[in-house]
C-alpha cells in the first residue's frame, strides 16, 4: 500500500514538474494577494487595473422579499487567471437583513469577508471584467459581463454567445446571447471619457425572446466600470456603485 502511494506521488510530481499547464490549472484559484515573486505578465501594461489597486462598490440587491446592502471590493492581485489579469472580489456582508442560513454562508467572522478570484482584461482599446458571481450574486452567471470596446461610436453594437457546459442542471449545454449597445458617450476633457453601455441577456437570438436580464453599465476611462445596474426578468435588481 505504501509502495503504491509512493509511486502515485512520484508520478504526480513528475507531471507537475514537466507540465506548467497542469500547475496553472491546479493553482489558478489560489489566493495570491500580497504574495511576492508571482509572475504577473498580464498586469504590466494595464492602464486601470494596476496591481495592488482596490476598487470599492456599494451594492444594493433587491429580491422579491428581501433587500441586501453590502460592500464589495475588487483588488488586482499578483498572478494570472485564464490568461488575463487576476482580480479578487471581497464580499463584506453584515448580519442585518440576512436570514440565519445566509449569515452562516455569507458572513466570515474571522476575516470579515468572503472572497473569490477571477480575471479581467485591460487593453488599450478594450476593457472586460468577469463579475462577482458567488454567494448572493450567483445570478450574474447569466448576465452580460461588463465590457466595452473603447473605439466604438454611439449606436454601435456588438454581441457574443455564452455556451454553457455540463454541471448547470437544466441550463447545461444551452446558449445565452449577450447583446451590447453604446448608448452614450460623454467627453469630460481630453483624457476622461464616460461611456454608457446598454446590454441584455437572452436565451434566444431575438432581443425580447426569453429575456434573462437588462443591464446598464457606466464606464469611466480612468476608473473602469463605476456603475453596473442589472434588472432580471423575475424583478430582481442588483446595482453596483463605485465609491
pLDDT tens digits, 127-185: 999 999 999 999 999 999 999 999 899 999 999 998 888 877 788 888 899 999 999 99
Q: What is the pLDDT of residues 179-223, one digit of tens each?
A: 999 999 999 887 899 999 999 999 976 545 689 999 999 999 999
Cα→Cα distances 197→41, 57, 121, 183, Å: 29, 19, 17, 6
Is 199 part of any domain?
yes
Is 18 part of any domain?
no
Residue 68 domain boundaries: 31-242
Is 24 part of any domain?
no
pLDDT score of 20 more than 70: no
Is 63 part of any domain?
yes
Higher pLDDT, 233 or 23: 233
Is 154 part of any domain?
yes
Residues 6+ apart with CB under 8 A from 107: 93, 94, 95, 98, 114
Question: What are the cell numbers at 1?
Answer: 500500500
What percentage of the chain exceeds 70 in pLDDT? Answer: 86
Structural contact between residues 179 and 199, judged by C-beta atoms closer than 8 angstroms: yes
Question: Rounded to an integer, what distance in angstroms lies between the CA atom of residue 228 and that of residue 96?
Answer: 24
Question: Rounded to an integer, what distance in angstroms lies between the CA atom of residue 27 and that of residue 81?
Answer: 9
For residue 16, the SS3 value is helix
Q: Please, how many CA atoms are within 13 Å of residue 112, restricted to the half-sphere of its CB? A: 3
Structural contact between residues 72 and 89, judged by C-beta atoms closer than 8 angstroms: yes
Give the CATH number, domain containing residue 143: 2.40.360
Is 173 part of any domain?
yes
Is 19 part of any domain?
no
Number of compact structural domains in the chain: 1
Higher pLDDT, 44 or 100: 100
pTM of the model: 0.85
Structural contact between residues 147 and 159, judged by C-beta atoms closer than 8 angstroms: no
Amino acid at each position: 500500500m505504501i509502495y503504491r502511494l509512493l509511486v502515485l506521488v512520484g508520478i504526480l510530481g513528475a507531471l507537475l514538474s514537466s507540465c506548467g499547464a497542469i500547475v496553472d490549472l491546479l493553482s489558478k484559484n489560489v489566493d495570491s494577494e500580497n504574495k511576492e515573486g508571482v509572475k504577473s505578465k498580464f498586469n504590466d501594461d494595464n492602464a486601470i487595473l494596476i496591481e495592488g489597486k482596490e476598487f470599492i462598490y456599494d451594492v444594493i440587491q433587491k429580491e422579491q422579499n428581501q433587500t441586501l446592502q453590502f460592500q464589495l471590493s475588487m483588488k488586482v492581485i499578483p498572478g494570472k487567471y485564464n490568461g488575463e489579469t487576476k482580480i479578487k472580489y471581497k464580499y463584506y456582508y453584515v448580519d442585518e437583513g440576512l436570514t440565519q442560513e445566509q449569515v452562516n454562508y455569507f458572513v466570515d467572522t474571522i476575516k470579515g469577508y468572503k472572497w473569490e478570484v477571477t480575471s479581467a482584461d485591460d487593453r488599450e482599446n478594450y476593457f472586460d471584467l468577469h463579475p462577482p458571481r458567488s454567494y448572493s450574486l450567483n445570478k450574474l452567471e447569466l448576465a452580460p459581463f461588463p465590457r466595452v470596446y473603447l473605439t466604438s461610436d454611439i449606436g454601435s453594437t456588438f454581441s457574443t454567445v455564452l455556451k454553457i457546459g455540463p454541471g448547470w442542471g437544466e441550463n447545461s449545454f444551452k446558449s445565452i446571447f449577450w447583446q451590447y449597445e453604446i448608448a452614450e458617450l460623454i467627453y469630460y476633457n481630453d483624457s476622461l471619457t464616460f461611456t454608457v453601455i446598454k446590454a441584455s441577456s437572452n436565451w434566444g437570438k431575438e432581443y425580447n425572446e426569453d429575456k434573462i436580464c437588462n443591464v446598464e453599465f457606466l464606464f469611466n476611462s480612468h476608473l473602469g466600470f463605476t456603475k453596473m445596474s442589472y434588472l432580471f426578468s423575475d424583478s430582481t435588481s442588483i446595482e453596483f456603485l463605485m465609491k
